[in-house]
Amino acid sequence: MIKNEHGTIYEAIGGAPAIYRLVTAFYKRVGEHPSLKPIFPEDLTETARKQELFLTQFFGGPRLYEEDRGHPMLRRRHLPFPITLERRDAWLDCMQEALIEAEINEPYRSAIYEKLTMTANHMMNTPE
């Protein structure tokens, strides 16, 4: 867990309202991205809810994801979806834009993006 003078990234960026802004901005982009649309459901409501729970926990907030869904097991949960280098890059592009729209400031924006990049790399499971 990344800690700083605010305690955690979750606290430093403003907690639940910031995570909500980030997830909302992110899924707005995912829902329109031609490379990502095929592997996401048409209705992103539940997907966004799970992402909010996960990012809350991932950045040091309450362990909401584990309470709701159990251990994240991210790679296993994503195996049914073909995640290529192109899709990883598209996902990261959407996240980078969402971080800006959600007004996540530095140095937290870069720290979040770096941590999510490592996670996205781990999720790739299909060659181009």
Domains plus CATH for the chain?
9-123 (1.10.490.10)
Give the pLDDT confidence of 22-60 residue by residue, as tens digits. Answer: 999 999 999 999 999 999 999 999 999 999 999 999 999
pLDDT over threshold 70, residue 6: no
pLDDT over threshold 50, residue 3: no
The arithmetic mean of pLDDT across residues 1-15, rounded, is: 77
Helices (H), 38-84: 45-58, 64-69, 74-78
Angle, CA of 62, 119 and 109, to the nearest 5°: 70
Confidence (pLDDT) at 2: 45
Q: Prior bond to 72 cis, omega within 30?
A: no
Give the pLDDT confidence of 74-98 residue by residue, as tens digits. Answer: 889 998 999 999 999 999 999 999 9
How deeply is 22 buried, as exposed, middle or buried, from its count of CB atoms within 10 A (0-12, 13-18, 19+)?
Answer: buried
Instruction: Considering only residues 2 and 78, tell me which one the structure prediction assigns the higher pLDDT.
Output: 78
pLDDT over threshold 80, residue 1: no
